[in-house]
Amino acid sequence: MSQPSPRKWFHTATIYQIYPSSFRDTTASGLGDLAGIISKVDYIASLGVDAVWLSPCYKSPNVDMGYDISDYRAIDPRYGSIGNIERLVQELRKRGIRLLLDLVVNHTSNQHPWFQESKSNKHHPKRNWYIWRPGRTEVVDGKEVKLPPNNWASLFTGSVWHYDEATDEWYLHIFDYRQPDLNWENPDLRKAVYADMRFWLDKGVAGFRMDVINMISKPTELPDAPGTEQYQHAAGLYCNGPHVHEYLQEMRREVLDRYPDIVAVGEAPFTSDPAVVRAYVEPERKELSALLLYDIFDLDSGPGGKFTAGDWTLKDLKGIVCKWQRALSFSSGAWQTVFLESHDAARSVSRFGDRTVANREKVAKMLAMLETTLSGTLCIFQGQELGLTNLSDEVPIEEYPDVETQNMYRTLKEARQLFARDGEKEVDMSDVAEQVRLKAREHGRQPIPWDASKPHAGFSECKGKTWTPMNTDAAVCDVASQEQDADSVLNFWRRMLKLRGKEAETLCFGDFEAVGEVDDEPVFAYWRRGKEARTILVVLNMTAQDGVRFRLPMGGVYELLACTDPGKRVAGEGVGETPENGGQDIWLGAYEGLGMGVTSQR
Ligand code: TEU
């Protein structure tokens, strides 16, 4: 086990993720833009966050909403200009907030000049900047059929290989075929990526969130993945590959360590082994600051992927939290992130609680209490601070624009049609539709409702539709009304982030211990213990069940620091402070959460 690192700003930081397309539109185009973000910097600062992570707004044909980049050094004119980024850096800095950009270098767009050159002929010096292979052939009914080089499945359905007629070779793409994977084995490619990173760091950017950074090193042989499916899920082969650590250490030396106080948060899907994670984040290895892990996001995926029903229980959710809190803590010398939402997921209120009008706020606050009392760099996604829910069921699925949703829906439908009785083309997709309504990325990508009294809730002045659907019913939970309400979800987040700052010694640097067994019971309770700081006990009722009993552990005097239901209990200095003696029963309402300082304990 490695030693705790020197303390860095990101250990206590909260990062606010902004999805530029959906934050604020100033051009009446229906798509958010950088000027819109700049116009809201005071709002961002009012949340009490330390950094902003901006999802991509580089030049892109937008097949995957900017995660397909055609020029790393240009801002897509739909969002603004480089000047807007420079201004955003300044405006945020004035308010003590740093800007992180998204670094998407596992793949580029197929429109990137690098790919265009690579594709131009087999002998081009950039051919090897991407992953090209000859295909396989098979004779079917006396005819030669071309087959991809291996059986790997793309994460956006189908094969990872796309055939290029002109050169009679295939290139690899883990995501859409318009997102070809870069070949990190090529040192010239790596140098070019580092130069593009420096371009932004020289502009005062404080670091990066690194898209699928654990996928950049593929096994050179590209062996078939085990299994009998035509296209086989192969993340076990292309994630955490043979040279990934070498490349990241090189990136640190060549780029990141040349700038002060940089943060590098790597996204690492399909990675659940703490030992594998530690190899990226132990400070002495000089790779990344922390990883974004997917265990919670994948919790409700079914056997046929995200849009098939998955069974999960509270015990699973609690278990994941406990596992990572124990495995990666400041005292054990490995850091982590804490997050429940991003642009890649549905809204946490709808996934983990219920979105009834009666419970929405309660669930949002309970989850806010969970996240703000765990250790790790906290990443909150825009709109989460408002307790936004999934899209309402009135929005037809055909209007969901995401490439992932549409590909997966179509693939599942085609598979059903194939197995349907002759001529029967109308297959039942209601179960898939239900999963889309629960988990599609569009739910997270809804525009921010700034003011419900305005068209498009103040997000845009466009005449027609916004680029992606948004809830416009009474339950939009807009910023304007939440600003007026001291007990709104928004103001609860602000209070919890303040508390997190004040109690950072315990909540950020302290250790974690669950109270009792991790089980399926409604309550999730845990201790946070800091060195030379008070212990905090967090008690959460994670269900809609009212009147749930929790027995305060013996031998403590508990002082209420935070509560989700101020009508019932009052937190705060002097006012209704409720020291309670150990051994006492407390009764929790639906989704109620309590944070208690423990002033003396056995
Ligand atoms: O996500 C990585 C990733 O694995 C996701 O595609 C994930 O499988 C999916 O979102 C689950 O619903 C990153 C980006 O965050 C995502 O937006 C991009 O689509 C993807 O990489 C490709 O760049």
DSSP letter for each residue of 389-433: -PPPTTS-GGG---HHHHHHHHHHHHHHHHHS-TT------HHHH
Active site residue 424: no
- Residue range 255-264: average pLDDT? 97
In sequence order, the 6+-apart residues with CB closer than 8 A to the CB of 140 are none
For ligand 1, pick from 212, 214, 298 the residue to mutate: most ligand atoms within 8 Å of CB. Answer: 212
Mean per-residue pLDDT, 469-490: 88
Mean pLDDT, residues 383-388 taken together? 97
* Pocket flag, ligand 1, residue 265 (CB < 6 Å): no
From 67, 105, 292, give the residue whose CB has the most ligand 1 atoms within 8 Å, as the site to mutate. 67
Contacts (Cβ under 8 Å, ≥6 apart) of 232: 151, 152, 153, 224, 225, 226
Within 8 A by CB and 6+ apart from 35, the residues are 26, 27, 80, 84
How confident is the model at residue 578, as a pLDDT? 46
Would the pLDDT of 188 be above 80?
A: yes
Q: Give distance in angstroms: CA of 344 to centre of ligand 1.
A: 6
Task: State the first-to-last Cα distance of the chain, in angstroms, to the nearest integer.
Answer: 28
Place of tokens 């600003």: 483
Catalytic member of 211, 282, 300, 341:
211
479, 386 Cβ separation under 8 angstroms:
yes
- Has residue 424 got a pLDDT over 90? no
Ligand 1 nearest-atom number relative to CA 67? 23
Q: Is 198 exposed, middle or buried, given 0-12, 13-18 or 19+ CB atoms closer than 10 A?
A: middle
pLDDT at 128: 98
Q: Is pLDDT at 580 greater than 70 in this prediction?
A: no
Q: What is the pLDDT of residue 297?
A: 94
pLDDT at residue number 574:
31
The Cα–Cα gap between 138 and 335 comes to 49
pLDDT at 147: 97
**Shortest-distance Cα residue to atom 8 of ligand 1:** 155
At 575 the pLDDT is 26
Q: How far apart are CA 2 and CA 21, in angstroms?
A: 41
- Position 595 pLDDT exceeds 60: yes
Statement: residue 392 has pLDDT above 80: yes
The pick from 19, 100, 175 for probing ligand 1's pocket by mutation, whose C-beta has the most ligand atoms within 8 angstroms, reads: 175
25 lines ligand 1 (CB under 6 A): no
Amino acid 3: pLDDT? 59
Q: How many CB atoms are closer than 10 A to CB 134?
A: 11
Q: What is the DSSP letter of 129?
A: G
pLDDT(150) > 50 = yes
Closest C-alpha to ligand 1, atom 4? 269
pLDDT tens across 339-349, in order? Answer: 999 999 999 99
Whether 155 lines ligand 1, by a CB cut-off of 6 Å, is yes
Q: Stretch 439-462: mean pLDDT, rounded?
A: 96
The confidence score (pLDDT) of residue 570 equals 52
Decide if pLDDT at 371 tops 90. Answer: yes
∠458-459-460 over CA atoms, to 5°?
95
Determine how β-strand 523-529 pairs with β-strand 535-541.
antiparallel
Binding site membership of 306 for ligand 1 (Cβ less than 6 Å): yes
Mean of the per-residue pLDDT values of the chain: 93
Please give the single-letter amino acid code of residue 417. Answer: Q
What would the two tokens of residue 142 be?
Answer: 């006396």
Give nearest CA residue, ligand 1 atom 18: 67
Lowest mean pLDDT among 65-74, 277-286, 357-366: 357-366
483 belongs to the catalytic site? no
Q: How many angstroms separate the Cα of 113 from the Cα of each of 76, 80, 211?
A: 15, 21, 20
Which of 370, 360, 584 has the alpha carbon at shortest distance from 488? 360
CA distance 369 to 372: 5
Average pLDDT over residues 46-53: 98
Would you state the pLDDT for residue 4? 63
pLDDT at residue 185 tops 90: yes
Identify the weakest region by mean pLDDT among 54-58, 284-288, 564-568: 564-568
Classify 210 in phi/psi space as left (phi over 0), alpha (psi -120 to 50) or beta: beta
What pLDDT, on the 0 to 100 scale, is given for residue 28?
A: 98
The answer on pLDDT for 328 being more than 50 is: yes
pLDDT higher than threshold 70 for residue 11:
yes
Name the residue with higher pLDDT: 569 or 89.
Answer: 89
300-307 average pLDDT score: 90
Query: Using an 8 Å Cβ cutoff, are 387 and 489 in contact?
Result: yes
Q: For ligand 1, say whether the CB of 98 is within 6 Å of any of its atoms.
A: no
pLDDT at 557: 82
Q: How far is the CA of 588 from the centre of ligand 1 (A)?
A: 37
163 in Cβ contact with 39 (< 8 Å)? no
Q: What angle do CA 112, 116, 117 make, to 5 degrees?
A: 115
Ligand 1 pocket check for 540: Cβ under 6 Å: no
Which one is catalytic: 176, 267, 361, 521? 267
Q: How far apart are CA 452 and CA 77, in angstroms?
A: 28
